[in-house]
Every structure is written in structure tokens, then in C-alpha cells.
Amino acid sequence: MKSFSKLLSFLLAIALSGGAIAQNSLLNVSYDVSRELYKDINPAFVDAWKAKSGETLIIKQSHGGSSKQAGAIIAGLQADVITMNQAPDIDILAERGGLVKKDWRKAFPFDASPYSSVSIFLVRKGNPKGIKDWDDLTRQGLQVIVPNPKLTGNGRYTYLAAYGYAMQKYKSDAQATDFVAKLFANVPVLDGGGRGATTTFSQRGIGDVLVTFENEAHLIEQEVGAGKFDVIYPSITIEAPAPVAVVETVTAKRGTRKQAQAYLDFLFSNAGQEIIAKHHLRPRNPAIFKKYAKQFPKVKTFTVESQLGGWAKAHKQHFADGGVYDQIVRKR
């Protein structure tokens, strides 16, 4: 019995200390491939916050497929802030149970997106297949690696980038559909995550071209070694902003509203924007963007809002069950 009561008091102590820490911690729920960024952002913010308020904050991170993460918050994961790579995963929190404000886009500058990235091509060294633009990806016999658009933001952006490109070129939905159908007929593997696609292309040696975000391409060079791949910028591509929001219900309950606000504000500050730029994500602050301009070749871009009628429409038209994406993959 003695050991049992010991165990009980031990568990109690853990529970209590957990409660004590909860007062000055933040949980940032984020998408899969933002680990590296927040590993640098968090200590910088903790220092800045300590200097300003004297409070020592602990920032906890949770990473995973972005829709899964949003689903976890809906199901009750106590996230103070959510940092995503596509707006629908924050919109859903506003729709289901009002976890974030309806007008969360207005809560921070630049539509609440501290940075963006663009979809680019990564090809094998020397570009043996001569891939220059989206048209080349529809060539017969070419293998294109893209993560699953039904499961990943990365894949969705790739699909929409190709569709938007074709719409600009042909000005017809039918021809644009045909264009993405040809492109996805060239995809031999549909990985369930952006990183999975990276692995398939860089480690397994499959495919002639990987379509991914600019920053992911640089990460590959760091991890796999420079000089094995070339980055190709297409004539026009999609800009993928990464939106952030405070989870109102959780911060109100935990009394962390102020800290959560400061944390996200930090992303837009000069210090935060510098860290973002160092991770090859395109910062919003013009001065900082200019400072790192060498990393970010000029490329013409469009957004889901400018070219595809916004996320709600794009989702319904393309990714909902029976949408264009389902139709083109069923035909193959």
C-alpha cells in the first residue's frame, strides 16, 4: 500500500506542476515542415519576451499534416496559436465552434501571413530532361513527383499552380482540366506528406522533377548535399502565404491571450522576419526582403485569391469529392 500512495502522490505532483507550467507556456500547433523555422523563432521570442515583460515563457510545438493538426484543435487540442501553410485550415476553426475570429485575416498585417513561399521545380543536376516550365511537366514519359493534393497543402498548391498557369494560357476550364490531367498522369507516387515526396525524389531516386516549395528545395540542398539538384523557376507560379492566428477560446481559458498575441506579432517584427528569410521563406517586410533579395529570384506569381476565386471556390471546384481532381485521377 505504501508504494501505491507514493505513486499517487507522485502522479499528483506531476499533475500540479503541469498546472503551474501551463500559466506561462504557449502551444504552437503548426504544419509538418515548419519544424526548422520554429526551432529558431522560439528561443528568439522567449528572449525578447523576457526582456520586455520579465516573464519566462515556454513554447511547445506540435507538428503534423496541416489538416490533421486543425482537426486536432477542433477535437480539443489546447493550442494557443495556430501557424499553418494554407488558409482553409484556419477558416475551418472559425467555422466549427468559433475557435478563431471570423475576420482572423485582419488581426495581423499582410492578411495575417508573416511569410510566403512559391512552388518551384527541383530537377536532377544539369537538368537532363530540359524542364523549363509547367508545359514540360505534361510531356509524355516524364515522371513528376508531387505529394497527394487531397492530403497536403504542398500538393494542393502544386495542383492549383498548374491549373492557374493553364487558365492564363488557354483561358478555358476544359483545357486547364486537360492540362492538370496530363500532369498528374505523369505522377508515379503520391506521397502523403511534403517531406515524403522529398524523400521519394531525393533518396529513392524516383522522378525527373519534384514540384515543391522554394524553401523545401533549399533544405534538400542542405540535407542531401549541394550540387545534386538544380532549382528551376517556372515562368509563373503560385504564391503560398502561411497564415497564423490566435486560438481565442483556448487563450481566453488559459489566460494567455497577451502572450499569444506577442508571439505572433514577433513573426512580423524585424527580428522575426530576418529569421524567416534565413530559412528561405519569403518575408513580407519589404526592407528585409530586399536585404535577402539574392535568395529570392524574381518570379511572376498569382495567388488562390487572385487567379482561382479564393479557397472556398477552389476547394469546392477541385478537391471536394467528385471535384475536378477526383475526375482526372479516376480517368487514368
Partner 1 sequence: MSAASRRIFPGFNLSVGYTLVYLSLIVLIPLAAIGFKAGTLGWETFWEVVTTPQVMASYRLTFGASLLAGAINAVFGLMLAWVLVRYNFFGKRFIDAMVDLPFALPTAVTGIALTALYSQNGWVGQYLEPLGIKVAFTRLGILVALVFIGLPFVVRTVQPILEDMEIELEEAAASLGANRWQTFRYVVMPILLPAVLTGFALAFARAVGEYGSVIFIAGNIPMVSEITPLLIITKLEQYDYAGATAIAAVMLVISLLMLLSINGLQAWTAKRTGRGR
List of residues contacting partner 1 (CB under 8 A)? 65, 67-68, 71, 74, 92, 96, 148, 150-151, 187-192, 196, 200, 203-206, 319-322, 326, 329-330, 332
Q: Is 167 helix (H, G, I), strand (E, B) or coil?
A: helix
Q: Which is nearer to partner 1, 12 or 320 (CB)?
A: 320
Q: How far is the CB of 168 from partner 1 (least distance, A)?
A: 27
Q: Which is nearer to partner 1, 46 or 137 (CB)?
A: 137
Q: Is 44 helix (H, G, I), strand (E, B) or coil?
A: helix
Question: What counts of helices (H) and strands (E) characterise the chain?
Answer: 17, 12
> What backbone phi and psi angles, to 5 degrees, belong to 292?
-105, 20
C-alpha to C-alpha distances, 188 to 124, 146, 157, 211, 229, nearest whole angstrom: 17, 9, 18, 13, 20
Q: Which is nearer to partner 1, 100 or 281 (CB)?
A: 100
Residue 68 makes CB contacts below 8 A (sequence gap 6+) with: none
Instruction: Extract the C-alpha cell encoding 203.
Output: 533518396
Q: How far is the CB of 91 from partner 1 (least distance, A)?
A: 11
Calpha distance 221→198 (Å, rounded): 11
Q: How far is the CB of 54 from partner 1 (least distance, A)?
A: 41
Q: How far is the CB of 248 from partner 1 (least distance, A)?
A: 20
Q: How far is the CB of 10 from partner 1 (least distance, A)?
A: 27
Pick from 328, 21, 271: nearest CA to 146:
328
Q: Which is nearer to partner 1, 205 or 227 (CB)?
A: 205
Q: Which is nearer to partner 1, 234 or 243 (CB)?
A: 243
